[in-house]
């Protein structure tokens, strides 16, 4: 009994020995990189991986903890400290409260907390410090637990992505027309403005993701527009369960074909490297347009439209245009749910459901139809 007690004391003394900060920081980054590597094996895009790397590094560097062994008396937070029982949970609660107080959207709060929770889930499932001599985190730094609870998430955060409405029907076409007339006419760089208009129409008419649109090709054996078959193809569709990028075809509407014919015949040839770069959408320098550039472009256009008085959703993004496509399609083809799932690249109905956002006018029409069906016809006069 005494021997066991003495052994425990020696173990505690070993744990309490200060570990150099540079060694701890190296362990911290090794764990983070090991987690980020899982994105590659799960076929996540480079943009997703880079966003998570930037967010996680910024989050840990932005939280300072007191440390008498550090030259500055304080240093950044480390992974296992964020997962420290009780204290780690308190830090997360304060972080979540700060986001709400700063009026971040529920979608953003959900995204930040979800990113942290996934990291901590990974660490709990693989609680080791990768390297030559694999070592358990607990044995070196102490006990850890999941600090992010499902109770920290805003209620129905995923459903509040675009609170209010999405552009459908006449509102979507009004937005198209605004971009075509105002944004092109009022822009000195009419070439890029015309390209932007083509990308927006293609997004709203096909349901393709922004990352899929920027990877479309116009030249070579992998050309992705098929006018004769009324189809647009993406070879960068999101895979499932590590299946890799998958080819998917979606509808190529008459409106989209009209716009894209003009773009391919009159606009794209004027861009630098149009004959050598296979990309459908090019930059002024003749390179393939990037995912981040597309987001900046749409953000600027939406601000111009809102300033001009157009009624716009609170947060219109490329993903919103994907919702516009899904909603418009199901309203026009209510019996083609399975076809829409194929166009969207969804594997189940629950995912598709989140993309259907009927407007007030749709529900009013449905209600009027139901009332007519339930109300007896009293206009026919009785013969007897």
Assess whether 326 and 200 both reside in one domain: yes
* Domain, as residue range, for 154: 14-160
Assess whether 314 and 173 both reside in one domain: yes
Assess whether 156 and 192 both reside in one domain: no
Number of helices (H), then strands (E), in the chain: 17, 7
Instruction: Tokens for 147, please give them.
Output: 């600090």
Assess whether 189 and 45 both reside in one domain: no
Strands 135-136 and 128-129: antiparallel
Domains of the chain: total: 2
Coil, strand, or helix at residue 225? strand
For the chain, the first-to-last Cα distance in angstroms comes to: 106
What whole-number distance in Å separates Cα of residue 74 and Cα of residue 371? 68
Assess whether 33 and 112 both reside in one domain: yes
pLDDT digits (tens, 9 = 90+) for 195-238: 999 999 999 999 999 999 999 999 999 999 999 999 999 998 87
Assess whether 280 and 329 both reside in one domain: yes
The whole-number pLDDT of residue 373 equals 58
Assess whether 81 and 190 both reside in one domain: no
Assess whether 133 and 43 both reside in one domain: yes
In a domain, 378, yes or no: no
The whole-number pLDDT of residue 368 equals 56
Instruction: Collect the ranges in the chain with pLDDT lower than 70.
Output: 1-17, 132, 153-164, 239-244, 358-384
In a domain, 198, yes or no: yes
The whole-number pLDDT of residue 165 equals 76
What whole-number distance in Å separates Cα of residue 227 and Cα of residue 15? 68
Q: Please, is 1 exposed, middle or buried when counting C-beta atoms within 10 Å of its C-beta (0-12, 13-18, 19+)?
A: exposed
Q: Examine the fold and report which residue of 119, 138, 160 is the final residue of a domain before the chain moves on.
A: 160
Assess whether 173 and 156 both reside in one domain: no
The whole-number pLDDT of residue 360 equals 54
What whole-number distance in Å separates Cα of residue 359 and Cα of residue 354? 14
Assess whether 147 and 184 both reside in one domain: no
Q: Examine the fold and report which residue of 160, 192, 219 is the final residue of a domain before the chain moves on.
A: 160
In a domain, 124, yes or no: yes
In a domain, 220, yes or no: yes
In a domain, 284, yes or no: yes
Model pTM score: 0.58
Q: Examine the fold and report which residue of 108, 139, 160 is the final residue of a domain before the chain moves on.
A: 160
In a domain, 213, yes or no: yes
In a domain, 377, yes or no: no
In a domain, 3, yes or no: no
What whole-number distance in Å separates Cα of residue 314 and Cα of residue 311? 9
Assess whether 156 and 174 both reside in one domain: no
Instruction: Tokens for 149, please give them.
Output: 């609870």
Instruction: Tokens for 37, please give them.
Output: 């590597």
Instruction: Output the domain CATH number for residue 248.
Output: 1.10.443.10
Instruction: Tokens for 103, please give them.
Output: 């009026």
Assess whether 183 and 111 both reside in one domain: no
The whole-number pLDDT of residue 229 equals 96
């Amino acid at each position: 009994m005494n021997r066991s007690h003495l052994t425990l004391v020696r173990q505690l003394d070993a744990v309490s020995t200060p570990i150099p900060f540079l060694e701890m920081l190296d362990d911290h980054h090794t764990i983070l990189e090991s987690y980020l590597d899982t994105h590659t094996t799960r076929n996540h895009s480079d943009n997703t991986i880079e966003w998570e790397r930037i967010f996680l590094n910024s989050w840990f560097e932005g939280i300072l903890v007191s440390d008498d062994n550090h030259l500055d008396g304080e240093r950044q937070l480390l992974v296992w400290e964020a997962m420290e029982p009780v204290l780690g949970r308190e830090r997360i609660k304060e972080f979540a409260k700060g986001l709400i107080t700063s009026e971040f959207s529920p979608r953003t709060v959900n995204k930040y907390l979800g990113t942290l929770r996934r990291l901590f889930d990974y660490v709990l499932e693989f609680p080791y410090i990768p390297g030559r001599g694999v070592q358990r985190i607990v044995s070196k730094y102490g006990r850890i637990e999941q600090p992010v609870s499902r109770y920290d998430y805003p209620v129905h955060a995923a459903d509040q992505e675009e609170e209010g409405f999405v552009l459908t029907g006449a509102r979507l076409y009004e937005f198209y027309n605004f971009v075509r007339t105002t944004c092109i006419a009022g822009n000195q760089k009419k070439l890029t403005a015309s390209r932007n208009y083509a990308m927006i129409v293609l997004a709203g008419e096909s349901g393709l993701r922004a990352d899929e649109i920027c990877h479309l090709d116009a030249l070579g054996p992998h050309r992705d527009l098929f006018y004769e078959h009324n189809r647009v193809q993406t070879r960068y569709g999101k895979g499932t369960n590590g299946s890799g990028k998958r080819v998917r075809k979606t509808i190529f509407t008459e409106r989209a074909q009209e716009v894209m014919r003009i773009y391919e015949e009159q606009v794209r040839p004027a861009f630098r490297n149009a004959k050598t770069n296979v990309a459908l959408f090019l930059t002024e320098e003749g390179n393939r347009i990037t995912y981040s550039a597309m987001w900046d472009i749409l953000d600027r256009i939406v601000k111009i439209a809102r300033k001009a008085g157009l009624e716009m959703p609170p947060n219109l993004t490329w993903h919103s245009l994907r919702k516009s496509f899904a909603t418009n399609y199901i309203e026009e083809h209510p019996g083609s749910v399975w076809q829409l799932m194929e166009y969207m690249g969804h594997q189940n109905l629950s995912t598709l459901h989140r993309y259907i956002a009927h407007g007030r006018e749709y529900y009013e029409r449905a209600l009027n139809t139901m009332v007519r069906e339930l109300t007896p016809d009293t206009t026919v006069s009785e013969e007897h």
